[in-house]
A = this chain, B = another copy of it.
Amino acid sequence: MPATDEITSDSKDNFASKVMIQLKQDILIGFFKPGEKLLMSRLKERYQVGISPLREALSQLLVEQLVVVENQRGFKVHPISLQEMHDIYQSRALIEQLCISLAIERGDDEWEAGILASAHKMQKFSDCIESHPHEWEKRHQDFHTAIASGCQSPTLLQVRRSLYEKASRYRNLWLNKNMPDPKVFATNQRQHQDLITALLQRDIPLAKQLIAEHLLSPSLLLGKNDSLQ
């Protein structure tokens, strides 16, 4: 019975799966720029695999709308637009409101405990944001995932994950210069604390309002926030 390597859990998967994860990351962090043509020769060299796994990985990212395909002209990185960013952020806020509402209705003691545990791990890491931004990003994500997971709906959680990934692309490309700002960081910490309070009090309207403000604040570079009760 093999004991180790349960962390990565992909040492036995096929090439397409591994390449898909790497390629997705490269697109999300902006190594491949929006609209950029994805040459097969370049991808082959970068990921050290043949054409077949590459095309399978690209086919998967096609469904996730991270790449686009033109008739007989190969693959390109999905272009970005202010319009799409607003739509994604708005939709993400609505889905997150949905998950949180359901979580408040369905969440049990374990759900509450998970929120407090992940919040603690996030807050203990507050001082290391600038030194390890990637790890802090993970703990922040884990905190919000702990909240949303209380909805107990795999379908909604998968939609939520997909929207998170697309939004993170815009965050990395356009608005990742506001994280080291201590002003907005203090605001974020306060938002987290208020959210936890609202959750434990099972105050659905307040929690919905708080999560919407929290998620949409980075995208308020340009206005246009309407209709989220």
A residues near B (Cβ < 8 Å) are 12-14, 16, 52, 55-57, 59-60, 62-65, 69, 71-72, 84, 87-88, 90-91, 94, 98, 101-102, 105-106, 153-156, 158-159, 163, 226-227
Contact = CB atoms under 8 A, between A and B. Distances in A.
A159 B65 CA distance: 12
Contact of A87 (B94, B101, B105, B154): B154
Contacts of A55: 16, 52, 56
Nearest to A65: B158
Contacts of A62: 60
A97 to B, nearest CB: 9
Nearest to A158: B65
A159 B98 CA distance: 14
Identical chains bound together, number = 2
A127 to B, nearest CB: 36
Contacts of A91: 153, 155-156, 159
Contacts of A154: 84, 87
A12 B154 CA distance: 36
A53 B227 CA distance: 43
Contact of A59 (B16, B69, B72, B98): B16
18 contacts: A12-B71, A12-B72, A14-B69, A52-B55, A56-B59, A59-B60, A60-B60, A60-B62, A63-B63, A87-B153, A87-B155, A90-B153, A91-B155, A91-B156, A94-B98, A105-B227, A155-B163, A159-B159
Nearest to A92: B155
Nearest to A71: B12
Q: Which of A56, A87, A102 has the most CB of B within 10 A?
A: A56
A57 to B, nearest CB: 8
7 closest cross-chain pairs (CB), A and B: A91-B155, A63-B63, A56-B59, A59-B59, A105-B227, A60-B63, A59-B60
